[in-house]
Amino acid sequence: MELLRSGDNARAATEAIRGIGPQVLQYLRSLLRNEGDASEAFSSFAEHLWVGLGGFSGASSFKAWAFRLARNAAINLRNEAWHRRVRPFATGEATALAEEVRTRSSSRVEGQRQALDELRRELAEEDRTLLILRVDQELSWEEISAVLSAGKPLAPNTLAQRFVQIKKTLRELARARGLLD
């Protein structure tokens, strides 16, 4: 944030993408369950962070703001039919940086992701997002509320109660598949 305060937005964005990029990429992989889509959403996230970092107001934590950008990138990717018909564009320094971060972390998380994806696939997208943000990214309930609220505030205690139900559902699925004793 010091770089941002000093007006060095390009270096601030570079450090931000390098710092939080691997976590965001893991989130996108878990959410989208497709490496190509996750890569494309991550590039979009990086571009939006690069361009929008100067406008970060601090109304929420930087981490919550970044994950909201990532979630919006994933939603936009799913909502735009063209992404299946054309090849992804490669523009700018942010895209190159996004590719660097994506490539470095790719092999490390693949094994873990496959095991969890089997169970997470059974969850609704909203529940899957809540689980990823809380467990994988360790966001606070307030940060998760900031990421998930789309104009209407979500009470952190409501999210916590929903999380308890999600854990019960996952436990039942794991038992049914013989993953738990």
In angstroms, the CA 2 to CA 4 distance is: 5
pLDDT of residue 112: 46
Cα Rg of the chain (Å, integer)? 17
Residue 58 or residue 51, greater confidence: 51
pLDDT digits (tens, 9 = 90+) for 87-146: 554 556 667 767 777 666 655 556 445 656 788 888 888 898 898 899 888 899 999 998
In angstroms, the CA 119 to CA 177 distance is: 9
Predicted confidence (pLDDT) at residue 68 exceeds the cutoff of 70: yes
Domain boundaries, the chain: 2-176
Alpha carbon 113 to its chain centroid, in Å, reads: 14
Q: Are 96 and 19 in contact (CB under 8 A)?
A: no
Query: Which of 81-90, 156-165, 169-178 has maximum average pLDDT?
Result: 156-165
pLDDT of residue 66: 92
Q: Are 114 and 146 in contact (CB under 8 A)?
A: no
In angstroms, the CA 40 to CA 32 distance is: 11
149: left (phi over 0), alpha (psi -120 to 50) or beta: beta
